[in-house]
Each structure stands twice: as C-alpha cells, then as structure tokens.
Structure 1
Amino acid sequence: MKLNLVLLGSASVMALAGLSGAASAQHAVSGLVTDANGAPLPGAQVRVRELGLTTSTNRQGQFTFLSVPSGETRIEVNYLGLPTAELALDVQPVERNFITFTLAADAADRIVITGSILDGQARALNQQRTNRATTNIVSADAIGRFPDENIAEALQRVPGFGIERDQGEGRYVNLRGAPAEFTQISVDGVSIAAVDPGTRAVDLDTIPSDVVNAIEVSKTLLPNQDADSIAGAVNLVTRSPFDRRGFRLNAQGGISYNEYGGTNDRRASFVVSNTFGENETMGALFSASYSQTDRRVDNFESIWDLVTRPEGDEIFAVVETEIKDYDTRRERMAFTGALEFRPDDQTTFFLRGTASRFEDDELRNLLYIEYEAGSLQPGATNTTATWANARLEKELRRRIVRNDVFTLAAGGEHDFGTVELDYSLSFNRSEQTYPQRNQLNYRSTIRPTISYDYTNRDLPFVSLFETGEHLNLAAFGFRENTFRGTDTVMDEWSGRVNLSGDGALFGTRARHQAGLSFRLRDGSSDEFRFRDRRGSTAALTPALADIISNRPSQNFDYNLGFKIDDQLAQAYWRSVANISTEDAVLRVPQSVEADYSVEENIYGAYAMTELDYGATTVIAGLRVEHTDFSSTAFRLNTTTETATPVSNSRDYTNWFPNLTVRHEFSDNLIGRAALTRAIARPNYPDVVARISVGDTPPLTVNRGNPELRPTLSNNFDAGLEYYLRPLGLLAVNVFYKDLENYEFTLRTPGEFEGEQATFIQAENAPDGFIRGLELTWQQTFDFLPGMLGNIGVFGNYTWTDSEMNIGRTIGGRSVFPLPGHSDYAYNLAVFYETDRFNARLSYNNRGDYLNALDAEDGRKDLYWEGREQLDFTASFDVTDRLGVFFEAKNLTDTPGVRYFGDRSRVYEYEKFGYTMFFGLRFNY
C-alpha cells in the first residue's frame, strides 16, 4: 500500500506559511558547556523552562537562544553521564548575553571518564538524544575502541548496518537492508561521488577511520538535507581546532601479526592543532594517517551451471574452477586540514580539506580448470562429476588499483541576533585509476580427465591434485598477454546557503529556515583493453619453467606447484608493453563501448518550520530538487572498427514533503515519528545510451537504458528511546519504505546482429518495499558492587524484510529480493573500564544477503553467506600522556563464502585468518 502523502503536503504548506512569522524583539543568549578539563560537551540539553525554550550544544559545546526577554532567568543544562547544572542569568538589553557551564562531579560519583569508552558513549548518546530526527552518532573515542581500520568497518557496529567485504575487509555499507547505493556519504557535509564507475555506492575502505572526529548517521531526513538518501545519510565529521582550544597533539602507531602468511601490518596517525591570538580567534589543525597491510588470502572459486548429462537429464555441475594464490598489499593515506577564524561568538569562517588514497596492490597466481572445454562423462550427480579433456591454464596477474577522494570546503556562519546565516562552497574529486593491470597466461597441451567431489562443499576433492598434470611445466605454452585499465574521474562543485530565525506561527514559538543549494557533477570513465596473442610476442615470451620461482604456491591444501617469479614477469611485461599497447590493432575494439561521460546538475530549495508545543516538537517542510542530466557513450561499428558518439539528456523535478515529530514523554523518554520522501538516481552506466558487446562467445550485450527513472521512496519511521541513568539507552525503531521504480538488472536472451546473445540491461520495477525493526541496548552497571560496577554492555539487533515486484513473470518469478538485504544483523559487546584500563569484547553477525540476481533462474542467484566475527581490544594508560593498546581481529577465523542459490553450490570460499595488533598512543 502506498503511503498517504496528503499529510505531508499539508505540512509543507504550513512550513512555507511559517516563514512570514515575525521574530520577537528580544535578546540573544549564548553559552558554552564544558567538562572539568575544559573539553566541550556536544549534545548537552539546554533549557529555559519558564519560557519553554530548549536547544542543544553543537560540536564545540556552544548554544544560542535568539529571543530571551530582559530580566533574570534560569538556564538548566542536562548531560547524560554528568550531574545537571542550573545557573541564573540577568539578561541585559545588549547585543549578546554569554554564560559558561562547567559540568563536573566528585571522583567517587564520576561516570564519564575523559577519553574513554564511556566518554565516547556519553558524547554520542547526548547528541542522539537532542537531535530532532532519528540519528546515530559514533564518536572518535568509540571508533578507536574497536579494531576497525576503515569507515565501513566502523559503521558495522551501528544499529541497522551490514557491510560488504572484499578479502575480509569492509568496503560498502547496507543500511536497513537497502542496497549500498541508497546511502549518501559526505565529509563535513560535502557529498562524495563513488570512485567505481559501475555504481553510485561509495567505497568506504578508501577512508581510514582514524581521521574523523565523529560519524553522524541520519536515518530520517529533514528538508535541509539532500534527498538522495533513501536508506539514510552518513556524514563523516573531521576534527576542528576548536574542539579543544590551545595546543593539542595526539599520535598513535603500531604493528600487527597476521595468521595467514605470518606477515605484518603497520599503522600510524597523528593530529596536531592549536588556537592563536589574544582571544584565541584563529585555529589551525592538521592530521595524517598511514596504514599498510600485507596479507595472504586463500581463495577457491567454482562456476556452477545447468548442464545436460549424457543420460539426457539436467543437473547442476561445476563448469570452471579458479584456485587463486594471493599476495596482497594495501596502503591507505589520508590527510585533513582546517583553518577557522572566529572573530567573535557570532561569526565563524572556515576552510577545510581532506585527501584520502587507497591503493590495492594484488599479485595473483592462478590455476584455471575449464571443465566445460571437455565433455561430461556418464554418472554425474549434483555433487560429483568426471570431465574428459578438461583444459588447464596458469596465469599471473599484477593489478594495482588506486582510489583517491579529495574534498575542499569554505564557508561561514553568522548570528545576527534575530536571524542566522550559513553558507558554503565546496569541491569533491573522486578518482579511480589502474597504474598496472597486466596478465600473463599459459595454456597446457595436456587435456586430462578430472573428477571432482563437492561432498565437502567448501574444499572439494579434485583428482587433478593427485594426478598432477598441472605440475608439468613443459606442457604449458604462451597463451596471451593482456594490458587493461579504467580511469574514472568524478568532479563535483556544490554550494548551499541557509537562513533561519525565530518567529511565531499559530500562536506558538517557531523557528523558520529556508535555503538554496546546487551540485554540479562532471564525470568520465575511460576503459582500455589490449590483448596480445601474436606469434611474434610468443617468441619473446620465456617458457613457464624459466620464470617459475622456488616459492611454493599453496592454496588451502591444494598444491599448485611454485609461484611465478614476480620480478621476472615484471621485466617481461616492461619489454613487451610498448609492442602491445602502441599497436592499435591489439586494442580490444569493444573496450571503447565501456567509455562514457556524464554531466549531472542538481538544484535544490527548501523551507521548513519547527514548532514547539511544550514537550512536542513538530517540523514540517518541503524540499524540491531539479535534475539536469546528459551523457555521451560510444557505439562501435565492428566492420569499420570506428566508434560513433551517442548522446542522451533528460531533466526532471521531484518534490520531497516532510513531517517530523519529536515528543519528550519525560527527560529520558523520547518518541519520534517521521513521514519523508527520498530519491536514488540511476547508476551512470545503466542510464547512458551505450551498447557494450563482449568480445568472446557466448555473446553478451550490456545495454544502457536512457528511459531508466530514479527510484523514489515514501518513508515512515517511528521509535521510542529511553535514556538510562547515569549512562545508557533502550531503543526500538520501526521503519517502512515504499519504493517506486526500483532499479534492477535483467538478463534476457535475444538476437544481436544476427547472433544469439544475452542482453543485460537495467530496468525499473514498479513496486517494492523495505520494512524492519531495530532494537538497541546500551548500559553501564555502575550500580553493581565492586569491580562489577566497571562493566558495561552495548548491543543492537536489526530485522528487515524487502522485495520488489517487477510487474511481469520471468523465470517463474515476479517478486524478487533486494540485493544487499539481510534478514538480520546484530552486535553485542561487553566492556570493562577503570580510570587507566579498558577492554572490549565485541561480536558482530550478519545474515545471508543477495549479491547478484539471475532473473531467469532463481537457483543461480548469487548470495553472500552471513558472516560472524569476534574481536577484542584493550588499552592501558601508562601515564596521563602515554598509553598502550592491543587489538585482536577475526578471532573466529570466519571465511567469506558466496554461493549460487543453495549453500551446497559454493562459488567462492575465502579465508584470511586472524590479526593481532600492538600499538602506542600519545596525547599532549
């Protein structure tokens, strides 16, 4: 059933009308809330009870009331984990009244320990409690207490999140069971474009976790936020020099031991900041982070398909197997910088920038068994088979992929007493390049008969490893060289301006806000592929036996022989690279069909009003976004091998009404409900006018769909949050997302230029939904006696259900699951903390989820198996400035598993072992 938007439309009219309310001629009151050490306390609730005024402190612990009458008034500050404070202020008819609160308690009663697990938890819970919409906050302290190297892995601890991994490491996030493209990612409010040309989902393994000050997750949007966040929006907040005034230096570093390969990881980072001037009006900050991981991965992959037995019936059989021996090195570098000028309490100017680089250097020795190149023998079953004349190949691939994300933002904030103005101009560049992507392939003249038995579905028996034909190096001859890469660049200029002020509407106090924004994106993707199979190149190619090293190549218990010597292969590639890549004949003509360029300009405007009815806050508003889109792709004439540009363009306007209600049943019991609307624009390769034809049979045609429409979602969210004293939370949230025009990829048979082909094209499903439930529990057990009072728990559970209805029946189905959807995900952590020591044991589990859809046959849908992981962290402060820490990751040694339709048909089985990390922290 579609959600009724009539109420939302009415709310929008109310918001627009509210802008005419006049602000009362009263006086501004500002203040600062800090702890006993002078650290600002964000999210503190600030009240003037007799006037019904409530606000909260920002990240620097500051708050402002624009309209307070003259005379004495009492201001109350409430912060979870510290005692409530109340002070009297004589409000004068001056431009600005200022007051400072310092929240402290006796050591015996102290709950929040600065820089600890509890400190981070307190900061997060206080901000979450006072936010108007449904949010989750993750503080830097909390991130640092988990062994999470990148932002994706940090988010897996947040209610509602599951992560998609690559070689055991988090890359994409699925929020509330939605595809990764449904979550917008930004840095300090600057939207980030994806580096991967095939998706709008942002690779979060590019950004290390130790460069952020906090992660803000908005699960319900307000009109002043960009609308392209159906699942939610993630904002990475970098540090500010005014987070703590004066000189600050924080540094950490360490080294690990990795179970697989006995290798080591290295990691180091630092943050330095200072505030200057007589009144500390200028601030500067710089941070840097570097990590390097050297890990070995064991990987076994099998392609399953329906084949006809000699007996005449169909069974599932393995038609290809790839056994991969990886040596990997991953490097992350990140830098952040900030300059801020605050000439007075009412004015801020800022310049902020971030740069992140992720480089994945992968050396892969591969043994390839092509069963279907031979013939299936009688007696095969769904788990056992014998193939005669199978084909064997050995290959070395060296692939380096580099992701770069750069953001720069400048702007200002002004408080004019009756109104507030903020504005910004920003730039983002997201880029993916392949400095090297070379493959050297040898094919054996031996065509053995091979039997397999998949009774052990993860590590099957393969007779080749008993007969050993793959170890006969003399039988392998040069097959081909390939040189390929893809360069993708996305640039976006964006700007926004917001104006807000106090007024009145319907006889009650109101805060009105309106704004304008633009996002101008220009991107291109250029793919190039060269394949060299010439006899002249073969004559230059050394025999396989001449470039084999003495290093054993072992994958699980499978003996692959010896690794190809990387240095000899590199020297060979350098010797033939120019011969191959300068010869245009060797460029695979179809690679030009993957190239495209796009321009996407999004213009937005909104108005909203916040009404306070005592304990109830109602926010009503309307946002409108207009999208101009154009693209250019290329169509190849296979006869003349000339490429012709093909362009398309379109524009559309979408309206996003919004109604958000927050009610305080008490100081500690908060209820929220929201009716919102959001959008997910199509992935670029899916909507550009392109036709990309595979260069090897069977023929595959990837086709863009210029008629593809954006996905729209009408959302309902509701929840209750009970904040436990002194520090904790019990929460329940429900959500329902009613999807229109959900984008999915369809494979259909057909004919292309006289040949049978499989067409792959994105289409819109008319209907779909995502619904779910989130439960959260955080608590400290300070009420228990003795050492038991130092224990705390953190847990959350998310259940989701989803489907899309494509409006017709294909392969016997008209209703399909959504990619990225898991039925459940949950976290459970237990921590122990004293003044100098803390430890945390954390467990994460996610259910199976769909990775790729086969619309023709559900038995071929590709799934990731659900994955569990147990981690442990501990730290000890040797002095007030120096600490040591320890991290143990993946103690369960959980594999990564993908399978086709049923767990018995394993496509990929991968293991990477546990990691033990030791390090030092220094604070000044």
Structure 2
Amino acid sequence: MLFRVASLRLSAFLLGTSILAAAQPGAAQAAAGTRSFSVPAGPASASIPQFARQAGLQILVQGDAARDARTRALSGAIEPRQALARLLAGSGLKVASWRGNIVTLVPELAGGEGQDTRNVGSEEIIVTGIAAPFRSKGNSTTIVESVVYDDVETLAADGSIAGLLTQLPGISTVEDGEYPRYVTIRGISPDLNHTTIDGLTLATVGESGAGTRRVNLQLMPSDVSKRVDVFKTFTAEQDAGAIGGAINIVTRSAFDRRDQALFVDAYGMYRTRGVQQTGSNAVGDPGDHWGGGVKANYATTFGASDQFGVIVSGRYDSTPRNFAQNWQNTKRFLDQDNEIIARPEEELGWNGRVAPAHFGYGTYADVSETYGGSAKLEYRSPDDAVQASVMGYNYVRIQDQSTNINHIDFVPLAEELTEEGGRGEITQLVENYRHNQYRRENRGILSSASHTSGATRVTARAGLTEETFRDWEPYVSILTNPTGYFLNFSTPDDEIPILTGIEDPSVIMNAPYRMNAQRDVYSNAQQEVFDARLDVAHNVERGSQGFGVVAGVEYRRLDMSKDVERTDHSVTGTINEWIYDSGYRPPTSPHSFAWLDYNRFRQEKWDDFPVNESASFDNSHTSDYRYLEELATAYASVHLNLPATTIVGGLRYDHIDFTGTTPVISQGSATGEFSRNDGGYDYLLPSLNIVHRLGDTNVRLSWSETLGRPTPGNIAQAENINCSDTGDVACTITRGNPDLKPRRSRNLDATVEHYYAGANGMLLLGYFHKRIKDDIFTLREEAVIDGELYAIRQPLNASDSEMQGIEAAWVHRGLPVGLSDHQVDLSANATRMWGEMNYVTDAGNRAVDRLINQPDWILNGSVTYRIPQLGAGLRVNANYRDAFLSSVGANPWQDEGAGALTTVNLALWHDVTDNLLFKYEWNNVFDNQPHFRLGENLDWVRQQNEYGSSLFFHAIMKL
C-alpha cells in the first residue's frame, strides 16, 4: 500500500506539474521575443546545433552542405530570426523554410522559400529534435533499427514500448493476451536480449517472479522515449549478454523538443468485448466496455544561455480487458480400428486423427490500471563541452482479474468417432474460481555526465532500477463425477473441437458438487539493479578520420528474491448451496455452467475449513529463492576511419560472480533449511564491424561473440530430494545448477543499405547467422552418492542451436501523390528465418527445425497518407507473425506453440485549431484473435482466445 500511495503521489505531481507549467510565461515562446545568445565562430556542424538549443528551435540542414561551412560569432540579446541571419552571413547557407519552430537550411544556390522540410536530407543531417529513424541507422557502425516515438502518429494499442517496436524488421513479441509484452529479436528468446534505458540496465523479475531475464516492455510507456534503438550486431561497449539483441530506450530531452513545449492527450476507449455476466462473480468492479486516460509531457529550458532543461511526463489510464478462452490441452489418438492409443505413432497403427479428451472454458473479468511518470533535469554548457542529467521514473500496472474456469472431462466412445466428431461419456465436471490482483512496478533513478574536449569525450553514468511484482490469489475448486451422462462434439478442420451439446444438460446444476481445493497465495518478487559505467571515446564521431578508440569499464550488481506465502485449507463436503447458473455461454459452448458464488462463499463458508499447516508450510517455501549477481567488465575498441570505410575491432572481458540461495526439499516436503550455491565465469569476447560507403549505399559486415547468461531460476531452483524403494534408482534429485556456463553465440551479419531521394527513401537487404553453443536444457543423469544410485535432474549445458535468416526493408517518406502537397509515407519489411535445435531429454536426443520463440516469417507494413492543409493524416499498420514454438516436449507430439497472427490497426487525425487535434484509432480492425497449437508441426489447435477489438478517441492539446 505504501508503494502504491507513493507512486500515485509521484504520478499526480508529475502530471500536475506538466499542466501547471503551461501557465508559465513564455512556455510556448520558442521563437518569439529576444533571446540571449553566446555562440562562438566555427564549423556549422558545431555552431548550428548550439544556436538551435539556445533559440529553442529545431534546425535541419544537409550534412554535406554544413560540412565545410563556417558561421560567425553571435552574442547578446537578439530576436531569433535576426540572430540566425547574422550567424549565417557569409556561410553559404540560407533559410529555406521557417514553419513554427522548425527551420530548414539549404546551400544558397539550392532551394528557396517553401521548400519541403522532408526533402532536405542526405545520409547525415544536423538536427535538434527527432530525425527519421533510418538517418541514425545510416550513421551507425553497427546494424541497428530505430523507432521514433511521435506524440500523435504512434500506433501502439496499449501505449507501450513493446507495441512500438513491432514495426521494426525481425521483431516479434510474446503477448499478454492481445498486447505485446516481451520482445523477440530475430526469433531468439526474450531471455537472451539485454535491455537498457539511456545505456543503463533495466531490472526485471520476469514472469511473476519466475527469475527469467526477459524485460516486460509492456510496463514501460512509449511516451517516456524519444527513440528506441534495437542493436542486432555488437561492439565491445555493448553488454555481452545479448544473443538476440540489445534494446536501448533513449529518453526524451528538453533540448530536443519540437514545436510544442506542452502536450496533453486525453482519451476514451471502447472495447467490443464487454464483461458479460462475470461482473456478478468478480472481486471489485471489473468495468465493462469503456475506459480512458490522460497523458502529458512538458519541456522547457532556462538560464542565461538556456543551459538548463526540464522535461516531465505523466500518465494514467484504466482499461477493461475482458476476454474468454476455450482450450483442449489433452488429445486422444486413434488407430485404424478407431481404438484409443497412447501416442500418435505409425507403429501403433495411428490413423492420423485426434479427438479431444476434455473441454475447458475460461471467462475473465479484467481491468488494468496504469499510472506513473518521469522527471528529468539537464544541463548543457553554452559551448556544449559539459552535459549532465538526472532522471527519475516510476510506472505501475495493476491488473484485477476474476476468473471462472469450467472443465468437462470425458472418455470418447471409439465406436462413435468419425472424422466430423463423436460422442463421449462425461467423467468429471469442474468449476475453478480465482481472483488475481497483479501489481508490477518499475522505477529508477538515472544520472549521466559527460565532458568533451576536442575529439575526446568522457561519459560517466550510474543508475539504480527496481522492479517488483505482487499478487494475491484466492482460489477455490469444486468438482463432481456424474455417471451415465454423455456429450457430443464436432471436429472442424484446423479449428478447435466444439462441444455441440450435453445430452442431459440438467447434470450441470443437479450433480452433487464437492470441495476440491481452497487456498490463498501471496506472491512477492523483487529485483534491484545498480549499474555504473565510465566510457572514453576519442575521434569516433561521424566524419572523423584516422584512428579512434572507445574504452570503458562497468560494474553491475543484480539482487533478486522471490517469496511465496500460501495458506492451504483442508476441505470436505458438498457445496451446491453456493453455486448458481451463470446464464453466460462461453464462445462455442451451447450451455451455461455452474459457477461458485465466490463473494457469498468467502463471507459465509471460507473460515469453516481448517488450515492445513503442513501443506501450507511446504507450499510457502518451495518457490522461495534469492539470487545475487555481480558483473565487472572492461572493454575497448579501435576505430579506423578511412575516407569511405570504417573498421571497428573490439574486445570485451566479462567477469561474473553469483550466489543462489534456495530451500532444501526432501521427500516432497520443505525442511526449513536453505542451500547456497556459488559460481561464476570469465570470458573474452571479440567483435569486428566494417562499414563501407559507396555513395548513397552502405555495405556492412559484422562478426561478434555474445553470451546468453543463465537465468536466476536456472541457478537458484530449489533442491528436491525424493527417495523410494521402487525403480532402478534409490533416489532422485531435482536442483538448479551453479556450474552452468552461459550460452555462447558466434554471430555473422552482412547487410546492404541504399538511401535515395535525399535519404527520404531506404532499401535494405541483409543476412544473419547465429551458432549457439552450450545451450541449456534440463537433463537426467545418474550418479553414486554415499554408495546409493541417484537420478539427478538439473539444467545442463548439453546442446547446440543454429539459426539464420534474411531481412528486407523498404521505407519511403514524403512521397508526393500529385494532389496539392499531399504525401504518402510507406514502410514495409519482411524477415525469413530458419533454425535448428538439438534437444536432449530422458527420451533421448531430438533435432527440432526451429528455436523456441522463432517464427518462420515476420512481416510488417505501414501506409500513412498526409494532408498538410488540414494537419491531417490516415495511417494503416499491419503486422504478421508466423507460428512459433513456446515449449518442446519430451516427445514431438507434446510440442506447444502459438499459431500465426495478423493484426491490422487504423488511425485518423486532423487539426481542429492551431493547438487542438482530434485522433481516432481502431485497433485490431479485423478482430483476429490469438490461438495456440499442439504437435510436432503445431498440427492441432489446443486453445482459442477471444479479446475483441478496441476503439479510441483522443483530444490532443499542443502548445
């Protein structure tokens, strides 16, 4: 509660500050009145950005035009237009257009008033503000994809960074329902990415404190960023633990603001799927179709030379997320005589058909609340030699979810099975009710300071980030085992089987339901990361010639813990008095089901069942652990800057020490004791990047070695010792493995980028290959301990993986359409991937033709039509992600994964006044819903989800 109150106060303060700041004199006076200037004479590449910051302007100029230009000295209090004219006198540059706070410069012999600011660029552009993402890509020495956040135009259904990244080549996501949560890069597991904010590591507890390394980017709002960079190749200064890629969130700066100082977006939303009748059985108010929120940011500079900057942001939204699920995780397999067999194998006579063994329906009343904000204080000396900033942020996401789950278990009658369906005898009806209040919070404080002297820059950064996860889950399960009741079902092609009817539906309410389980579970997980680094760069900026060097050191401390407190009750007796007919029929079900009246049951019956002390003690300790990791690293890279070629060779040394503290479990029971496992590793990791420029074409070649560090859960898993008098071995031990080595990947990349139309267009074609050694899987081995034979199950380095792929992209911005000054922006990319994984289980070795989380195809496209006279635009985004594996079974037919998914989003916006804009969004236009599959080639549908679509209306104020 203390954390929530503190977060609410911080959010309210930040949001309030944003709005109140609009009342300050001069908040929107970037180019009006006189300003104090102090700009020394010198190269235009240095003086123009300095002038722009002091004037509060965004200035764009071709890099080629500015490279040899020199500007005059400027000092004193002068009106910005007059000041810029004095600065440029005799430089060979002139103003092509001045629109609001955006100024475009061109050579004096080129262009004139009214030139389109979109068509001024070459590969290098001097910009104060946000440049097109492929401009930074063209200037990079590595293969990097960048996505720029735009306050108006960005389409991200839940406003998160995860949603923002889905437009980039080779990016897919692992969803939380219909919303992107974890990012996969080129089909590599999210656990093998490294995510930073302004270059400092973000804390993560993984899923519900599971101890994975994946970062939940659903929690981080995209409006905290001005840009997100995804690095696909690596130099020595990037973190080594990034087989998939490195994601860096570049936060906003007051010095990079565009043509408004204040931005406020108030919005409402409508979900096509409502709460149905789950509200009668929910804890709290789950909401229905409607939601909404507000977000705002404010930026300003101050001081005699505008050397100080402040930018603050805040957001709050409440979103209904009601949904339904239909699943059949258990399948029955048939032989040529329609008899049920154990496995779908030809030697057993399998006829190629499957039948369901149960029907499961989940109905979720769900509402999510997100709030938080950020504040950043910055300093830049008038000559830009010294820069410093400190930033704090805090974001909270609370999800209240009430769930009713109904199972019908049955035995298919072999003699009545056909290709179209069949009949079965019901063996069990189950109703499970649970409520979850998930609370996830990510907060941090980040600091940075740099000093530039000539061609040398020294940068020091330090930050402390923390993520916490909490959940309270009351759970009740009731069931009945009727006899002599039958159901019928159909099996449509490549769809989930459908229950067509229970022959005597009175059994649903009249069968004698009895208590099965009752418990309260409180889960708490926390990770804290302290990260400090010092970097020195000499002669490595764009345009440098000769030798350059980047060197640095970093220290990082990661501390994670998980604690579960569970209270189990001993339950008996029938429970029909507390059930009712919900009247709600889940999708594809012809019947409504018996639901437990939870609120009444909690008040009248919960305390009648005594606490099971032994089970509560065991279940409260078996999942607890703590993991401490310390990293010390040093790195250096040498840059050889030739006229048309840049060669960067680097070496990184990583030293890791870790400690895992876990409970000892014996004979399935917690002993109350804890074991401590210590370990560590050291690696030298080389890298080489070559960029060759042929006019407007970049040819890139990259080779590097990276790591996939074991997750805290791999190392700190509780040890479970179980001994019996049966079987081939006396005892089995399940435990984590402190001796795990990280995965090691050798990465090869080759890419060609061609820029055209003044860098408004880009074509890209690339190839990548990764060979991963020491992959981590849970294996079984035998060992003699104190004279007894033990079977030991633990994660080991025992396999290898390989993947490769091709990426292609096309981007063209500002394409004229021949109608007034209307324009179209086009963006399309495609990634094709192939993978192979050697997987080792108790059943033997398997070769799988893909990696976990790796789809074969990823396709993204976007079209934006602009009407400048109306300040209007229409955008369509489309994303396609092919099917992928989420887990590999001991046998091929036990593999599980997600089916292919296409999502189309639509947005329209237009000016109402100079400072007011309306925006309309329709997310998931065609109502495509995720589904999940089972089998060696993901042959059969095992789960279907129903979320519906969402519509938004935004009223946006810009000053």
Match in the other structure for 2:268:
255
1:576 aligns with 2:607: yes
1:669 paired with 2:697, answer yes
Equivalent position to 1:130, from 134, 139, 155: 139
Question: Is 1:914 aligned to 2:949, yes or no?
Answer: yes
- CA 1:805–1:787 in structure 2 vs 1: closer, same or farther (change >3 Å)? farther
Distance (whole Å) between structure 1 residues aligned to residue 464 and residue 246 of structure 2: 19
Q: Is this contact kept in 1: 2:718–2:735, CA < 8 A?
A: yes
Return the offset for 1:888.
0.6
Distance 1:234 1:78 in 2: 37
Counterpart CA distance in 2 for 1:649 and 1:677 is 25
In 1, Cα distance between equivalents of 2:263 and 2:791: 56
Q: Structure 1: which amino acid aligns with 2:751?
A: G
| 2:637 counterpart of 1:637 | no
C-alpha contact 1:547 1:564 (8 A) present in aligned 2:
yes
1:318 to 333, 350, 356: 356
1:157 pairs, out of 167, 174, 198, with 167
Matched, 1:851 2:886: yes
Match among 17, 30, 48 for residue 46 of structure 2 = 30
User: By how many angstroms is 1:426 displaced?
Assistant: 0.7
Of 527, 537, 554, 1:490 maps to 527
> What is the Cα deviation at residue 273 of structure 1?
2.2
Amino acid at match of 1:146: L
Give deviations 1:233-260, integer Å, cap 9, x for gaps: 1111221222239982111021122111
The DSSP-based 3-state class of the residue aligned with 2:223 is helix
Q: Whole-Å Cα distance in 1 between the matches of residues 802 and 107 of structure 2?
A: 48
Instruction: Tell me if structure 2 keeps the 8 A contact 1:669–1:721.
Output: yes
- Following TM superposition, by how much is the alpha carbon of 1:620 offset from its aligned partner in structure 2, in angstroms? 1.5
- 1:140 is aligned to 2:138: no
Counterpart CA distance in 1 for 2:687 and 2:161 is 29
Q: How does 1:27-426 map to 2 (within 5 A)?
A: 30-33=46-49, 38-40=56-58, 45=63, 85=106, 106-107=113-114, 109-111=116-118, 122-141=131-150, 144-149=153-158, 150-196=160-206, 197-198=209-210, 199-244=212-257, 248-261=261-274, 263-305=289-331, 311=339, 313-314=341-342, 316-344=354-382, 345-371=384-410, 378=415, 380=417, 384=421, 386-417=423-454, 419-426=456-463
Kindly indicate whether the alpha-carbon contact (under 8 Å) linking 2:852 and 2:884 is maintained by their aligned counterparts in 1.
Answer: yes
Q: Which runs of 5+ in 1 are unaligned?
A: 1-25, 52-71, 89-102
Task: Measure the CA separation in 2 of the matches of 1:556 and 1:700.
Answer: 44
CA distance, structure 2, for counterparts of residue 826 and residue 899 of structure 1: 21
TM normalised by structure 2 equals 0.80
Give the CA deviation at 1:816: 5.0
Conservation of the 8 A alpha-carbon contact between 1:646 and 1:689: no
Residue pairs, 1:818-837, within 5 angstroms: 818-835=851-868, 836-837=871-872
Mapped pair 1:869 → 2:869 = no
AA aligned to 1:284 is: V
Q: 1:143 to 1:379 in 2, by over 3 A?
A: farther
Give the conservation status (yes or no) of the 8 Å contact 1:322–1:369: yes
Deviation at 1:388, TM superposition (A): 3.4
The 3 A distance-change label for structure 1 pair 247 and 377 is closer
Change (3 A) 1:465 1:285: farther
The aligned counterpart of 2:75 is none
- Amino acid of the structure 1 residue aligned with 2:376: A
For residues 692 and 375 of structure 1, what CA distance do their matches in structure 2 show?
Answer: 37
Tell me if the contact between 2:668 and 2:721 (Cα under 8 Å) persists in the aligned partners. Answer: no
Cα deviations across residues 587-643 of structure 1 (Å, max 9, x unaligned)?
061452222111110111111122211011111121111011111111123487523
Question: Please, which moves more after superposition, 867-876 or 130-139?
Answer: 130-139
Once residues 454 and 205 of structure 1 are traced to their aligned partners in structure 2, the CA distance between those partners, rounded to angstroms, is: 36
- Give 1:485 deviation, angstroms: 3.5
Deviations 1:641-695 (A, max 9, x none): 52321221112111111111112211x2222221111111012212235335899
**Match 1:609 to one of 632, 638, 641:** 638
Deviations 1:790-828 (A, max 9, x none): 223110001111112348995562445211001110112
Q: Which whole-Å CA distance do the structure 2 matches of 1:329 and 1:113 have between them? A: 47
Q: Tell me the residue number matched to 1:559.
A: 591
The amino acid that maps onto 1:648 is: N
Distance change (3 Å), C-alpha of 1:491 and 1:259 = same
Which amino acid is the alignment partner of residue 109 of structure 1? D
| Residue of 709, 718, 722 corresponding to 1:690 | 718
**C-alpha distance in structure 1 between counterparts of 2:924 and 2:792, whole Å:** 41
Q: Which moved more, 1:339-348 or 1:656-665?
A: 339-348
The residue that corresponds to 1:797 in the other structure is: 830
The alpha-carbon distance between structure 1 residues 639 and 75, as it changes in their structure 2 partners (threshold 3 A), is same
User: What's the CA shift for 1:511?
Assistant: 1.9
* Counterpart-to-counterpart distance in 2, 1:749 and 1:650: 23
Output the CA distance in 1 between the equivalents of 2:581 and 2:234. 57
SS at match of 2:255: coil
Q: Alignment partner for residue 898 of structure 1, among 932, 936, 957? A: 932
For the Cα contact (< 8 Å) 1:205–1:358, is it kept in 2? Answer: no
Q: Deviations over 1:442-468 (max 9, x none)?
A: 212524334433235535332554532
Shift of 1:471: 3.0
Instruction: Measure, in 2, the Cα distance between the counterparts of 1:119 and 1:257.
Output: 38
One-letter code aligned to 2:647: V
Q: Tell me which amino acid in the other structure corresponds to 1:370.
A: D
CA deviation profile, 1:294-327 (whole Å, cap 9, x unmatched): 1321210112246688947446543343211111
Q: Which has the higher strand share?
A: 1
* Count of residues paired in the alignment: 842
Distance 2:152 2:192 in 1: 24
What one-letter code is carried by the residue in structure 2 that aligns with 1:139? V
Q: Determine if contact 1:245/1:275 at 8 Å carries over to the other structure.
A: no
Aligned residues of 1:211 and 1:289 also touching (Cα < 8 A): no
- 1:107-142 C-alpha deviation (Å, 9 max, x unpaired): 35343799xxx9999531222221221111111118
Q: Deviations over 1:213-239 (max 9, x none)?
A: 211111112211111111211111221
Deviations along 1:23-62, whole A, 9 cap, x unmatched?
xxx99983334889954469974788679xxxxxxxxxxx
**Maintained 8 Å contact 1:549/1:565:** no
Please state how far the C-alpha of 1:144 moved relative to its aligned partner.
3.8
CA contact (8 A) 1:360 1:402 kept: yes
* Cα drift, residue 414 of structure 1: 0.9
- Between the aligned partners of 2:92 and 2:746, the Cα distance in structure 1 is 42
Deviations along 1:488-523, one digit per CA (max 9) or x if unpaired, are 11111110011222499xx96222221110111111
Inter-CA distance 306–724: structure 2 relative to 1 (3 Å threshold) = same
**Deviations along 1:257-294, whole A, 9 cap, x unmatched?**
21111602313200022222222222222111122211
The alignment yields a C-alpha RMSD, in angstroms, of 4.0
Residue equivalent to 2:36: none
Change (3 A) 1:808 1:796: same
Mapped to 2, the partners of 1:832 and 1:580 lie a distance apart of 66
**Unaligned regions of 5+ residues in structure 2, if any?**
1-41, 70-89, 122-126, 275-287, 345-353
Pairwise CA distance, 1:76: 12
Does residue 616 of structure 2 align to residue 587 of structure 1? Answer: yes
Distance across 1 between alignment mates of 2:677 and 2:95: 57
Superposed displacement of residue 362, structure 1 = 1.1
| CA apart distance, 1:350 | 1.2
1:468 corresponds, among 482, 505, 511, to 505
| Distance 1:431-1:763 versus aligned 2 partners, 3 A rule | same
Match of 2:764 among 708, 731, 736: 731
Q: Name the TM-score, length of structure 1 as normaliser.
A: 0.83
Q: 1:852 to 1:245 in 2, by over 3 A?
A: closer
| Structure 1 residues 674-753: aligned runs within 5 Å | 674-688=702-716, 690-692=718-720, 703-726=735-758, 727-745=760-778
Q: Conserved in 2, the CA contact under 8 Å of 1:525 and 1:596?
A: yes
| 1:922 maps to amino acid | M
Compared with structure 1, are the counterparts of its residues 227 and 690 closer, same or farther at alpha carbon in structure 2 (3 Å cutoff)?
same
| Equivalent position amino acid for 2:928 in 1 | T
CA contact (8 A) 1:503 1:509 kept: no
